[in-house]
Structure 1
Amino acid sequence: MTLSFSKYWPDDMPSHMANYRTNFVEKIWTSLDEELLFSFYREKYQVDFANRELVDKLLKERADYDINWTLYDHLRLSNVFKAHTIRGDYHDRWKPGNDIHFYINVRKPNQFLFAPVMKCTAVQSIDFTHFHDHIEVELSDNFWKARGSVKGKIYEWDIQLQILAQNDGFDTVEDFFSWFNETTATGSKLIHWTKYTY
């Protein structure tokens, strides 16, 4: 099944995010074994992943994407990665064992498969409930809370929310809730491609 990832945050996000890169490509790459990336780029695109100049050229020409190698190296050294994604799944299609195809520019002429096809390792239900003074997150059998306001400052949260936000590719809990705000649909799923679950 296809997972599409944005290259840039939309302009209705907070000013420190709006129209800036999501860096999801680099964050997903760091969740994968580098040998998988080497093998994938060699077989799919006949490019040696170790030759950053050729990988740069490939992604720039095929996907209009400039790789941030400094960020990639920092993330890999720091063991920071995007281990999952949250999506609406109204027809209950996501199941462990499904193939995951990682794309940017979906349904565009420069659609690009940027990572090897991986198996979905786990699917967890997740729901967000926004109140005037706090946000509740229910993830499978876990229940976490953040205090504050999405439009204001979130000043207190369960540590697991910080881990969830970072593993979903966000720098902070506030950024996470700027994206998963009051408009986030109920019945969403947390889709995993690593062994890490909650």
Structure 2
Amino acid sequence: MILSFKTKINGKPTYFPEKIWSGLGDVCNKYNYCIDEFHTGLMNVGFDDQRDHKPKLHTIRKDDKNRWKPGMMIDFFINARQKDMFRFAPRIPVVSIQYIGILHYRDNSEVNIDGRYLFPSEVEKLAKNDGFESVDDFFQYFNEDYNGIIIHWTNLKY
């Protein structure tokens, strides 16, 4: 199933494809994939392989119809359903799903995963593992109450 990723949020580059590739080393070795298969195409869409990108190990999505399940194949795309749609990584299976809730109060925001509230240090880890530069960037993107899932393509769990 298609997972589409943005290359910019609020005018800033996300480097999500690069960050996903940064975290795919063990996964690609397991499935005998390598970046060489995608490298030329990635360069054509502005892939930045000159920076040391911290890995994006999962993604957070709405899933109101409970479509995402462990074992389903992930199709990583940018510009999905557009003329310049581009697959930027190999198809790999969903390893696990976790439920996430984000609540905002006046001066505070809370995150729970599978019903357990996270400590601030865990929220920072979640934000970084989801590809955000900071907790502030994470909460700027998820700026309203939110219920969804974390789609994992590695063995990481919270």
Could you state the TM-score of these two structures normalised by the residue count of structure 2?
Answer: 0.89
Query: What SS does structure 2 have at the residue aligned with 1:3?
Result: strand
1:44-81 deviation line (CA, Å, top 9, x unaligned): xxxx719xxx93x52354xxx2121121xx23xxxx20
Match 1:85 to one of 59, 74, 82:
59
1:8-64 deviation line (CA, Å, top 9, x unaligned): 11xxxxxxxx21211001000011127838x546xxxxxx719xxx93x52354xxx
8 Å contact from structure 1 (residues 97, 120) kept in 2: yes
2-side partners of 1:34 and 1:88: how far apart? 27
Pair 1:22 & 2:19 matched: no
The aligned residue for residue 171 of structure 1 is: 133
The aligned residue for residue 31 of structure 1 is: 23
Query: What SS does structure 1 have at the residue aligned with 2:118?
Result: strand
Higher RCO (CA 8 Å, separation ≥ 6 residues): 2
8 Å contact from structure 1 (residues 40, 115) kept in 2: no
Moved over 2 A (4+): 34-37, 57-61
5+ residue gaps, structure 1, are 10-17, 42-47, 146-157
State the identity %.
36
2-side partners of 1:49 and 1:34: how far apart? 15
Distance 1:120 1:87, change over 3 A: same
2-side partners of 1:35 and 1:192: how far apart? 12
Number of matched residues? Answer: 157
Amino acid of the structure 2 residue aligned with 1:85: T
The aligned residue for residue 49 of structure 1 is: 36
The structure with the largest alpha-carbon Rg is: 1
8 Å contact from structure 2 (residues 57, 153) kept in 1: yes
5+ residue gaps, structure 2, are none
Distance 1:34 1:129, change over 3 A: closer
CA RMSD of aligned residues (A): 2.3
2-side partners of 1:27 and 1:169: how far apart? 7
The aligned residue for residue 2 of structure 1 is: 2
Match 1:194 to one of 125, 137, 154:
154
